[in-house]
Structure 1
Amino acid sequence: MERESEIVNSYTKGFLLGAIVGGAVGAITALLFAPKPGIELREDIARKSGELYDKASDYVSAAKDEAQNVVNQGRVQADKIVHNARSQAEQLMHNAEQMIQEAKYRASSAKDIVGDSATRVKDAAKAGIDAFRTELNQKGNVDTELG
Structure 2
Amino acid sequence: MSEKDGINVKDFLIGGLIGGIVGSVTALLLAPKSGKELRGDLNEQVDVLKEKGTQWKDVAYEKGIEIGNVAKEKRDSILDSTSGFVGVVKDKSGQLYETVSKQTKSVKETANAGLEATKQAAQKAGDTFRSEAKDAKSDVKDAAEKNKKKK
Same fold (TM over 0.5): yes
The size of the alignment, in residue pairs, is 114
1-structure distance, mates of 2:51, 2:40: 16
Extract structure 1 runs of 4+ deviating beyond 4 A.
40-48, 138-147
Q: Quote the residue 1:25 is aligned against.
A: none
**Cα distance change on mapping 1:74 and 1:113 into 2, 3 Å:** same
Confirm or deny that 1:108 pairs with 2:105: yes
Could you tell me which residue of structure 2 aligns to residue 69 of structure 1? 66
- Larger helix fraction of residues: 1
Q: What residue number does 1:53 align with?
A: 50
Q: Give structure 2 stretches of 5+ with no counterpart.
A: 1-30, 146-151
Task: Name the larger-Rg structure.
Answer: 2
* Equivalent in 33, 51, 60 of residue 35 of structure 1: 33
CA–CA separation in structure 1 for the residues paired with 2:34 and 2:78:
64
* RMSD of aligned Cα (Å): 3.1
- TM-score, reference length from structure 1: 0.58
Task: Provide TM-score, normalisation by structure 2.
Answer: 0.56
Higher relative contact order (CA 8 A, sep 6+): 1
- Counterpart CA distance in 1 for 2:42 and 2:35 is 12
- Aligned CA distance change for structure 1 residues 144 and 37 (closer, same or farther; 3 Å): closer
In 2, the alpha carbon distance for the partners of 1:102 and 1:64 equals 57
Identical-pair percentage? 18
Q: 2:133 aligns with which of 132, 136, 142?
A: 136
State the distance in 2 between where 1:43 and 1:37 align: 8
Give 1:90 deviation, angstroms. Answer: 3.6
